[in-house]
């Protein structure tokens, strides 16, 4: 990946060493599908990559916010929120974040004998919009599990486990309806407040306005707020902030992510505001919370 020299605030990336990649290529399980590079770039302004000389990896990019584009075979495709694409190996290509509204992306370079199977239907941007039965937050947790497993080291068991999760991760995209239908919602799913909370959870890494929440629920902002507050005891935006802090706590508990990286993962760009919000909800700043968990 080519990016500005000072990187992107909150970015995370791993490039697996070539001997490790060769080890996976020789393994009967890992050779089916394996990762060579993986990362997350929030608000990736000036992010641009052009490869005139083809590479042997497939390139997966999942845009959660913002906009960008990619070009392959002389065609240029715009990319927006909740869309992903996979660039095939062996073909020149280019991709770039929008200058005014740069994308936030999860990206993975991968290889293997099954790679073409998962990449074949994704030459154009594919939408995975949040909905009543979507499981976007579950998929993001799978990405985090892959990243964390590789971050812990390149033992043979770690590599095989990461490959297994990645196979499932791509399956959640390739077989989207089956993935969504696998967990049947309960009878309350049709309830407006339950659906609104699900919508918040699916978008916990984004900024949502009251108007967006109300529109999704099919009510006016004032009526939506009244119904939501009556059921939960909290205004919608306050409840959404609690979900963000709950997710931040999980990341502090189970990952080694830095606090400024966690900010971007939950859709807050200002680390000072994040610290104030965290302290308000949890009764202590995130640095103290993290230190307590270590002890």
Instruction: Spell out the residues 6+ positions from residue 77 whose beta carbon is closer than 8 angstroms to its own.
Output: 69, 70, 71, 85, 124, 125
In the chain, DSSP assigns E strands to: 12-15, 34-41, 48-51, 58-65, 68-72, 75-79, 83-87, 93-97, 104-111, 126-127
Distance CA(168)–CA(220), nearest Å, equals 39
Going by their DSSP bridges, the two strands 68-72 and 58-65 should be labelled as unpaired
Distance CA(172)–CA(138), nearest Å, equals 10
Distance CA(166)–CA(292), nearest Å, equals 32
- What residue segments make up the domains of the chain, in order of their start? 12-181, 188-294
Question: Which residue(s) pair with 105 in the sheet?
Answer: 41, 63
Overall CATH class of domain 188-294? mainly alpha
Angle between helices 210-217 and 221-232 (to 10 degrees): 90
How many Å from the N-terminal Cα to the C-terminal Cα in the chain? 37
**In a structure prediction context, what are the per-residue pLDDT tens digits for the chain, which is 295 residues long?**
444 445 667 788 999 999 999 999 999 999 999 999 999 999 888 899 999 999 999 999 999 999 999 999 889 999 999 999 999 999 999 999 999 999 999 999 999 999 998 888 777 898 888 776 788 888 999 999 999 999 999 999 999 999 999 999 999 988 888 888 777 654 444 588 888 998 999 999 999 999 999 998 888 999 999 989 888 888 999 999 999 999 999 888 888 888 889 998 999 989 899 999 999 999 899 988 888 765 5
How would you write 250-270 as a 3-class SS string?
Answer: HHHHHCCCCHHHHHHHCCCCC
Strand order in the sheet with 93-97: 48-51, 93-97, 68-72, 75-79
Q: Tell me the CATH number for domain 12-181.
A: 2.60.120.280
């Amino acid at each position: 990946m080519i990016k500005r020299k000072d990187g992107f605030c909150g970015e995370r990336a791993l490039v697996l060493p070539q001997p490790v990649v060769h080890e996976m290529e020789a393994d009967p399980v890992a050779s089916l599908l394996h990762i060579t590079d993986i990362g997350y770039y929030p608000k990736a302004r000036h992010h641009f990559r052009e490869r005139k000389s083809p590479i042997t990896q497939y390139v997966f990019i999942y845009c959660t916010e913002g906009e960008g584009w990619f070009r392959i075979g002389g065609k240029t495709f715009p990319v927006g929120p909740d869309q992903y694409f996979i660039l095939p190996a062996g073909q020149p290509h280019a991709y770039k974040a929008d200058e005014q509204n740069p994308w936030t992306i999860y990206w993975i370079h991968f290889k293997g004998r099954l790679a073409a199977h998962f990449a074949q239907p994704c030459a154009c941007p594919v939408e995975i919009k949040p909905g009543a039965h979507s499981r976007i937050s579950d998929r993001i947790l799978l990405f985090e599990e892959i990243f964390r497993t590789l971050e812990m080291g390149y033992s043979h068991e770690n590599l095989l486990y990461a490959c297994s999760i990645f196979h499932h991760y791509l399956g959640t995209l390739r077989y989207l309806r089956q993935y969504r239908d696998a967990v049947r919602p309960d009878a309350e799913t049709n309830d407006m407040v339950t659906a609104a909370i699900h919508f918040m959870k699916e978008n916990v890494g984004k900024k949502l306005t009251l108007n967006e929440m109300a529109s999704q629920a099919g009510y006016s902002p004032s009526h939506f707020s009244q119904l939501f507050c009556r059921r939960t005891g909290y205004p919608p935006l306050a409840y959404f902030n609690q979900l963000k802090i709950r997710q931040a706590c999980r990341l502090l508990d189970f990952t080694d992510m830095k606090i400024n990286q966690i900010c971007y993962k939950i859709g807050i760009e200002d680390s000072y505001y994040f610290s104030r919000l965290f302290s308000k909800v949890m009764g202590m700043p995130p640095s103290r919370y993290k230190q307590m968990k270590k002890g």
